[in-house]
Amino acid sequence: MQQRLPVLICFVAGILMFLQYFSRHPVARTVFVSINDYWQIIFAFTLLVGVAAFGKSNLRQIGRGIDTPYRFIALSGLVIMPVLAIIGGIKIDSPFQWAFEYMLAPMQATVFSLLAFFVASASYRGFRARNLQAAVLLGAALIVLIGRVPISEMISDSFPKVTFWIQNYPSMSARRGILIGIGLGSMTTALRVILGIERTYLRGE
């Protein structure tokens, strides 16, 4: 029961969603829309589970006295946003939107911008022409780095053209190979999931 029921539901949902692709019949569309709705709503519940787990984990850590100030700050952040939304709604001039624009978004963008420094550091430490393949990688990177800033046009008109040629043909063909590989792999995995051969999603309690 604990294994069979989920496998059966997965099979039915998978088959129905697969078959709908081939039919415009109203019944097929109704089934598709219903499963699609359920899928979306259940997915929203997964976030609620995540929030509950986050709160529980932080409260447990506070109880044990581990990183208490940081855990407290994180929980405050979690509470602040819903409170602001309840008080002032989510309109453009609401405190909720304000907190997003002046607290969350700047911090998020700044954390991400730290990568610029690590990329620079990695370029110095790890980007070395140890062999021919590494040299090819290095060459392609250098051409793109110069070719995609305005200075390339000052060096030569054909510089950007070379950059686009590399991007559009040799680079694209390799990416296409990867893409087709992923496509075939995803397709077989999806089939294995529907047929109940692949059941890793049933693991973990």
CB 62 within 8 A of CB 68: yes
CB of residue 167 to other proteins, shortest distance in Å? 6
Which of 27/49 has CB closer to other proteins?
49
Which of 64/104 has CB closer to other proteins?
104
Token pair in block for residue 79: 């509470």
Neighbours of 155 (CB within 10 A): 11
Residue 143 vs residues 19, 79, 160: alpha-carbon distances, Å: 47, 48, 9
Residues in 89-108 at the binding interface with other proteins, rule: CB under 8 A:
89-92, 96-108
- Spatial distance between the Cα atoms of 42 and 35, rounded to a whole number of angstroms: 10
CB of residue 161 to other proteins, shortest distance in Å? 10
The reply to whether 197 sits near other proteins by the rule CB under 8 A is: no
Return the residue of 23, 25, 39, 57 that touches other proteins, per CB under 8 A. Answer: 39
Which among 183, 182, 163 is positioned nearest to 171, based on CA atoms?
163
- Spatial distance between the Cα atoms of 54 and 23, rounded to a whole number of angstroms: 42
Residues in 128-157 at the binding interface with other proteins, rule: CB under 8 A:
128-130, 133-134, 136-146, 148-151, 153
Q: What three-state secondary structure class fits 204?
A: coil
Return the residue of 23, 64, 183, 197 that touches other proteins, per CB under 8 A. Answer: 183
CB of residue 27 to other proteins, shortest distance in Å? 13
Residues in 55-74 at the binding interface with other proteins, rule: CB under 8 A:
56, 69-71, 73-74
- Spatial distance between the Cα atoms of 163 and 145, rounded to a whole number of angstroms: 9
CB of residue 66 to other proteins, shortest distance in Å? 13
Between the CA atoms of 143, 145, 151 and 157, what dihedral angle is there, to the nearest 10 degrees? Answer: 30
CB of residue 28 to other proteins, shortest distance in Å? 11
CB of residue 23 to other proteins, shortest distance in Å? 12
The reply to whether 87 sits near other proteins by the rule CB under 8 A is: no
Binding footprint of other proteins, residue count (CB under 8 A)? 143
Which of 63/191 has CB closer to other proteins?
191
- Spatial distance between the Cα atoms of 90 and 85, rounded to a whole number of angstroms: 6
